[in-house]
Amino acid sequence: MRTRVKVCGITHHEDALAALNAGANALGFIFSQSPRQVSPDEARSIIERLPPFTQVVGVFVNEPREWVQNIICYCGLAAIQLQGDETNEYCQAFDVPVIKSFHLESTLALDRINDYQVSAYLLDTQVEGISGGSGKPFDWALLKNKTFVRPVIVAGGLHTGNVSHLIQHCFPTAIDVCSGVSRSARRKDPVRLQTFFDAVADADRLRVQVPAESGQEDILKASFDRQPLVEIQGRRFLLNALTEQIPATPAELLREAARRVCYAAQFPPGTKLVGEEDKGGGLLAAVSLLSGLPYGIARWYPSGLEGQVQVDFDCEYTGGSLFLNGVEPGDNVYIVDDLISTGGTLVGLVCAVRKAGADVSGILCVVEKRNYGGARRVFEATGISVQSLIEVDVSGEHSVVVGVNY
């Protein structure tokens, strides 16, 4: 599903065209007190020169109904957005679609939203004395497991660096952007507009969907349950499509694994991902694409390039050295891997990240072999708990899924 985008705070015709050319679905004109306020005459002059079928939204804060209705007619507004303390009764007075804004600071503010019989809900940041345009995001975790009876538009501090995270974890119907694509209080930046819409498009193509509803097949769990265990030269392999490519990894399985990782980890904006290039490399790249976050990778051979960090490690299958690229001092790192058995590779990754001067905020693996004690080893060696999505017992001839943590 494509995320719709409204660009708010339009004050110039050139900015309106730049927003539409970048991909905007709607333009917002602010008629109440704001640094981006426009007069009805200014708005009408811009709107009259826009391409046909452009969706134009007027933004108002606690204004008299008659005045709002007059501007709707005078400017040809397609919808209105009410940012103040307007009641549900007030919202029913208009013949055009109404977007009602709510300013969030806790889950308590969400409880009354569904009482409003409007076309859509806009969720924004609660800032004392400001009715909108704060330039600050609210805590998106407030939206987790919440159900709304109308489409949801999310606003507040959106920009190229965080919009992908929002789309993939909160699944808004639409988003409202203003300061994140501006070069000053009253002017938009064409370059910022384009990069913002590129980020939205990328997130939509690879967005994390809400996990499958009850009754649907869990292809991730199924790929590790009742799978053959084969011992070769003293190494015990869990044959499966995701980590061993036996059979070849289906695209939908890799996508589902990456979705589950993103959904479980809830990566904060600014995180850098780290993993190793062997079995976990494909998963790491998929998670990076879905989350919009950059990643550094630990290779099994040195490149000699400046900044590469070397650490020794041992794991179930091999041992030696890891050579980490892409991590800088001060980075906030989240380690992602496909499978944990003895935990040796993860201990090495944590040591490499710390040696590079960065911090590890979490570790997440898709699968944990319960019989090897790897998670305990990692915690004892690093002080970091390993989160796993699926736990399997590998003591018999076939694997058995004994835990699903999502």
Q: Return the amino acid letter for 345.
A: T
Of 15, 124, 176, 331, the active-site residue reads 124
Q: What's the Cα-to-Cα distance from 26 to each of 47, 68, 77, 148, 245, rounded to whole Å?
A: 12, 19, 11, 22, 45
Is residue 158 within 8 Å of 180, Cβ to Cβ? yes
Q: Is 75 a catalytic residue?
A: no
DSSP E strands in 199-299: the ranges are 229-232, 235-238, 271-276, 295-299
Distance CA 90, CA 149 (A): 19
Distance CA 326, CA 308 (A): 8
Query: Which one-letter DSSP state was computed for residue 97?
Result: -
Q: Which residues contact 152 (CB under 8 A, 6 or more apart)?
A: 120, 121, 122, 123, 143, 172, 173, 174
- Residue 368 sits at φ, ψ, to 5 deg, of -125, 125
Residue 365 in tokens: 């693996």
Q: Is 8 a catalytic residue?
A: yes
Catalytic sites, residue numbers: 8, 124
